Each structure stands twice: as structure tokens, then as C-alpha cells.
Amino acid sequence: MHIIEVENLVRKYGDLTAVDNISFSVEEGEIFGFLGPNGAGKTTTISVLCTLLRPTSGRAWVNGHDVVREQAAVRRSIGLVFQDPSLDDRLTAQENLEFHAVLYDIPADVRAKRTEEVLRMVELYDRRNNLVRTFSGGMKRRLELARGLMHYPKVLFLDEPTLGLDPQTRSHIWEYILELREREGITIFLTTHYMEEAEHADRIAIIDYGRIVALDTPENLKSMVGGDIITVKTRDDEAAARQIAARYGVKVRRTADGLSFKVAKGEEFIPKLVVESETEILSVGLRRPTLDDVFLKLTGREIREEEAGPLDRMRERMRRRARRH
Amino acid sequence: MHTLRAIYIIGYREILRYWRDKPRIISSFARPLLFLFVFGSGLSPAMGGLARGLGSEGLEAALGEAIDYTKFIFPGVIGMNMLIASLMSGISIVWDREFGFLKEVLVAPISRAAVALGKTLGGSTIGVIQGLLILALAPSVGVSVTPMMVVQLIPLMLLASFATTSLGVLIAARMRTVESFGMIMNLLTMPMIFISGAMFPLRDLPSWMDFLVKINPVTYAIDPLRQVIFRAQGLPEAALEKLPQMGLGVIVFGHTMTIADDIIVIVAFGVTMIALAMWMFSIQD
């Protein structure tokens, strides 16, 4: 039995189709990622799997339970860390966890122990009696992670878990997540638009405009790109582009920084390029394919942090309110 | 059992948050105090005794003068404070929705209806606390307070608060922003208080206003409070019986509303509201 199964899932908001007939399954103990730009349908999919939204059509099962017909059973099996903090600022860390414990019917005698356990795991035990309002973004995210695990869920859903966090906090959070998978055999379902984050996954589904355009391990996906990526800056980009395309038979792309194209064995290619080039070469860069390149190849666009979407506006509003108080 | 514990903790959180927001508690006093002391003291001399007409001789005349405007609106001010607090509970739902905490509650294995109920119970308790805070001001307006009176008032306040809170929860059930909820609050709160017999006696009113008073649930929430408070002022029974005719009580279709009658109306209203609220909350996106 797959721990998550999705069959022809469709979710519309009026005329807008956010999730357009997707199907996939996740194995127990896997780290499974959804990678795609903002608005691709990642949060919507997670919301359906967490029983926050109903599918327009199609079906989904989590831990063997239908997300529409067996909601309580699904909810008991899952933990969720949202994109935006969903803690109560005016309660302490401990109180937030206790609230959660009662809602999830964790027996009274176990509650205190479990609370301490998760707080220690995310290194917030010393701050347990502080109001969450005093916590930094990273601390809040850690607390949410702790909260999501309190009831020992089989699947942990992480919706953009490290969005807006600094690199150090990001790597700490991933340490916990990976340790968890080791220890508890938890399945992790993750959505992100950060490529580096997606690299942690065992398998990734690349999602764009509500459709899955690829599903495989990060390695396999990257080898789809077909080679290393060379970037070149020259005195005369237009001429150089024509020459390179003609001489080596590669498709050359013009970018903001110069030219870009793909070859196998980039390190061996560069010396040849420099020697044989008719145009003066100012600089050369070489890199391995990333998931962004995969996305580019599949969709013709790059995954980039996009301009203010509804999420960012909400954040702006939160910041304004926080200042007012 | 799990559901009961969940309802309790949801309500408890409301109360905890309320109590920790001291600035809000203090500022919620502003309007009631304004009414009691400024409005009350200002209008009392002009209005004279509100129970005039009880009689022009002796004891009755003296008693008629005894209920000045400030004392008259005292039950209404309690009601005002409670009403504002209970409608504010609705805001907490919209706030939670806007700022994400509601998701934590919605994704937990408890029914949506239980969430609505928990919020309502928490909000009702807060309403009672707010009412009691105003009651503490009684001595300063010359209203005497007896233990018996307080014992009777608390359940009545709880009932009234429950009815108005469930109205607030119902309104909040599908509302997206705090701003919209605030707008509705403003539209509702003051009119509901003014057209309830709490601010002026229900005497010789134009028929449209009379109608509005009779269909306003707040009227039936405040009337029992008024009856209990006036009863504890040491007025004789005979005088008290005449009060409704003077407009200091509620008469519907010729029948004077007793406390028991009021309770029936309030409970019916409250139960309807909470049932609707629980249903609206359960509608899933």
C-alpha cells in the first residue's frame, strides 16, 4: 500500500484550474517533493491531502484513508507545517503544544512527556514558557515542526518549510527532518520552489500550471538536461552565438549575462572553445545541471522567486499589523 | 470525551488570550463609562425620574423619582459591554482565519461544529466577565448590589452572552477579513443596544420602532438583567409591577414579559444561532 495515493485529482477555484488532473503515489518512508513556481498548484494539492480543501474531482488516500470520506482518520495520521506560521502569538510555546495535544487526543499522562520530547528535539525547551510573539522566524518554524510531530504522524507535510529563513536555520531544520526519517520512518511530503531544498527528496514531481510535467529522482531528472552548462561572455555575443552553434552544433541561448549552451564533459570542452573562438572571450563559466535547468528544459521557463503573489501580500499585511501593535 | 476536552481547550484559549490583552479590556470600558457617567449624569437632570406616572402622591411619587436616568441605563450598559465582547469573539475567528491559526484547528481530528461550540463557550464566558466588570461600578452610580442579585445575574448574563456570541460566530463563520467583520459589528452593535429599551423607556414609540424593539434579541437579553437589578433596589412589589407600563419593561402583544419569558426567547434565539453557526462552520471549501 502506498502511503499516499492520488488519482486524477482536479481542483478548481471558479474558472481557475489550480490542480489539473494529477496522479501519483508516495511510498512509506520516502521524502517526496513537489517542485514548481508559485501558483503551480503545490499548496492546493497539499491542502486537499490534508483535508482542508475538497477535490473538485478525483480521489486521494492518505495512509489508506480517503481524504473526503475518512477525514478524521486522515487527520490523525498526518502532521502539517504550513507555509505561513500558524502558531498563536499570544500563547507560550508550551501552551501552543498543549493546545495541539488536546486537539489530537494525546492522553493526559503522556502529554507532558511528549511536549518536552519535541521541544528538546528542536532545541526550544528553554524557551517553552516564552510567548511565541518573541520568537524569530526560524524558531517559529522549528516550533511548528515540533508541533506537527507531537502526535507521531505517519506523514509529515511540509509546505515550503524553509521559505524566508536564513541558510543556517534552513540546514538545521533539514537536519531534524532527516534525523526524523531515520528514527521514526516517517514519510515526508514536501513542496518547495527552492531547488536546493528539492535536492533532499528521494523523488521529485515537477509541477507547473497544475500539471505534473516530470516525476523521478533528482539525479535522473538532471541527466535529462543532457550535459553540463557553459556560460560565456564575449566581445560580440551575437557573432559568437552564431559561430558556436555552427561549429559545435549546439543550441545557444542568449541570457542577461551572455550566452549559455549545453555540452557533455564541460571541463574538456572549455579549453577547445577558448582556443578556437574567433570572438574574444571575456569569461567562461561551467556548472552541472540543476533542477532549475530541468524545469527550463521541460517548460521553457525558469523557476525564480516571483513578484509579490498573494502570499507576499499577506506577509506584508502581517508585518504592518505587527508594527501597529 | 475527546470532543469535550477539545471544546474546552478551544474556549479556554479564547479566555486566556482575552485576559492577556489588558489594553483591550481597559479600552473596552471607554464606551460604557461614557454612557454611564457622561450621558447618564448629563441626561438625568433633564429627564427626571423615569417612573413618573406611577402616581403623583406620596410613596409612589417618591419612588417614581428614585429611578433616575443613570440607574435606568445601568442594565443597558452592562448589556452593551457584554454585547461588544461577544461579537468580538467573532473577530477572533476571522483573525485566526486571516492569520493562519484556524488552519491548525481545522486540520485537527475534531469536528468543525465542535470548534464553533468551543469558540462560543469561550466568548460567552468573556461576555460574563465583561458584564461583571461593569457590575462592579454599581456603587458609583447609586445602584445597590446584593449577593442574591449577583447570583441571579450570572446565569442570565451567561445566557444572554451565549446568544449574542453565537450570533457573532455565525457572522464570522464564512467571513474572510477582519475589516469586513468590523464593518458589520459597527452596523449592528449600537443599533441593537439603542433599540432594546435599554437607553430609553419603551413608551409611545412610533410603530416601526416598536416593531424593531420586539424583534431585537438584545431586548430580551437586557430585560431580565433590568428586572433583577431593579428588584434589588428595594422598591416595593406593587411599584415594580407597574414599571413595564411606564416603558421600563417589555410588553409583547399585551403580555408583560417575565424573566422566564425572556429566557425562553433568548434560549430559542441562542440555540438557533449556534445551530446555524455549527452548520456554517462545517461547510467545507
User: Per-10-residue mean pLDDT for chain A, 325 residues long?
Assistant: 92 90 94 88 91 92 94 92 87 95 92 90 91 90 89 90 81 83 89 85 92 90 83 87 87 85 84 87 87 84 57 55 46
Do A47 and A196 lie in one domain? The reply is: yes
Are A131 and A246 members of one domain?
no
E strands, A51-112, where?
57-62, 65-66, 78-81
More confident residue, B130 or A314: B130
Burial code (b: 16+ CB inside 10 Å, e: under 16) for B170-186 equals: bbbbebeebeebeeebe
Q: Is residue A293 in a domain?
A: no
pLDDT in tens, B261-285: 889 999 999 999 989 988 888 887 7
Query: Letter for the amino acid at B111?
Result: S
User: In this predicted structure, what is the pLDDT of residue A279?
Assistant: 85
Q: Chain A interface residues facing chain B, Cβ-Cβ under 8 Å? A: 50-54, 71-73, 75-76, 78, 80, 82, 84-88, 90-91, 95, 98-100, 102-105, 147, 318
Which of A151-165, A272-286, B120-134, B244-258 comes out lowest in average pLDDT? Answer: B244-258
Output the furthest CA–CA distance in chain B (Å, rounded).
69
User: Do residues A99 and A74 share a domain?
Assistant: yes
pLDDT tens-digit series, residues B51-105: 555 444 554 555 555 677 788 888 888 888 888 888 878 888 888 887 788 888 8
Contacts of B20 in chain A (CB under 8 A): 90
Domain co-membership, A241 together with A127: no
Contact B6 A103 (CB under 8 A): yes
Average pLDDT over residues B115-130: 91
The domain boundary residue, chosen from A186, A221, A256: A221
B115: closest chain A residue by CA = A103
A297 located within any domain:
no
Strands, E assignment, chain A: 4-13, 16-26, 31-35, 57-62, 65-66, 78-81, 155-159, 187-192, 203-208, 211-216, 228-234, 253-255, 258-263, 281-287
With CA atoms as reference, the chain A residue closest to B103 would be: A86
Residue recorded with cell 467571513? B175
What is the rounded CA–CA span in Å between residue B64 and residue B259?
22
B270 to chain A, minimum CA–CA distance in Å? 26
In a domain, A315, yes or no: no
ipTM above 0.85, yes or no: no
Could you give the CA distance from residue B87 to residue B89 in angstroms, rounded to a whole number? 5
Report yes or no on A313 lying in a domain. Answer: no
- Sign of the four-CA dihedral A254, A256, A258, A260: negative
User: Which position has the higher pLDDT, A48 or B203?
Assistant: A48
- Quick check: is A321 in a domain? no
Domain ends where: A200, A221, A242? A221
Q: What total of structural domains would you count in chain A? A: 2
Q: Give yes or no for residue B220 having a pLDDT over 60.
A: yes
Half-sphere exposure at residue A194, Cβ-oriented, CA atoms within 13 angstroms = 15
Q: Are residues A46 and A127 in the same domain?
A: yes
Of the candidates B20, B101, B284, the beta carbon closest to that of A86 is on: B101
In chain B, domain spans? 2-282
Q: Is B105 on the interface with A (CB under 8 A)?
A: yes
Using CA coordinates, name the residue in chain B closest to A49: B107
For residues A7 and A59, is the Cβ–Cβ distance under 8 A? yes
| Percent of chain B surpassing pLDDT 90 | 16
SS3 A18: strand
pLDDT of residue A306: 46
Whether residue A87 is found in the same domain as residue A203: yes
Q: What is the CATH number of the domain that holds A75?
A: 3.40.50.300
Mean pLDDT score, B154-164: 91
Q: How many CB pairs under 8 A join A and B?
A: 66
* A318 within domain boundaries: no
Give the CA dihedral A248, A253, A256, A259, nearest 10 degrees.
0
Give yes or no: residues A231 and A198 share one domain.
Answer: no
Q: Are residues A73 and A120 in the same domain?
A: yes
Kindly list the residues from chain A whose CB atom is less than 8 angstroms away from the CB atom of residue B285.
52-54
Least confident span in A298-312, B8-22, B224-238? A298-312
Q: Which of A86, A91, A318 sits opposite B103 (nearest CB)?
A: A86
Q: Is residue A271 located within the same domain as residue A165?
A: no
Range of the domain at A8: 4-221
Q: Would A179 be classed as within a structural domain?
A: yes
| CB B239, CB B67: distance < 8 Å | no
CB contact (8 A) between residue B109 and residue A72: yes
* pLDDT at A318 (0 to 100): 57
Do A235 and A137 share a domain, yes or no? no
Residue A299 covered by a domain: no
Chain mean pLDDT for chain B: 83
Q: Which residue in the block uniquely carries the three cell numbers 433616575?
A: B68
Cβ A88–B5 below 8 Å, yes or no? Answer: no
Instruction: Please tell me the predicted confidence (pLDDT) of residue B53.
Output: 53
Residue A308: the pLDDT is 42
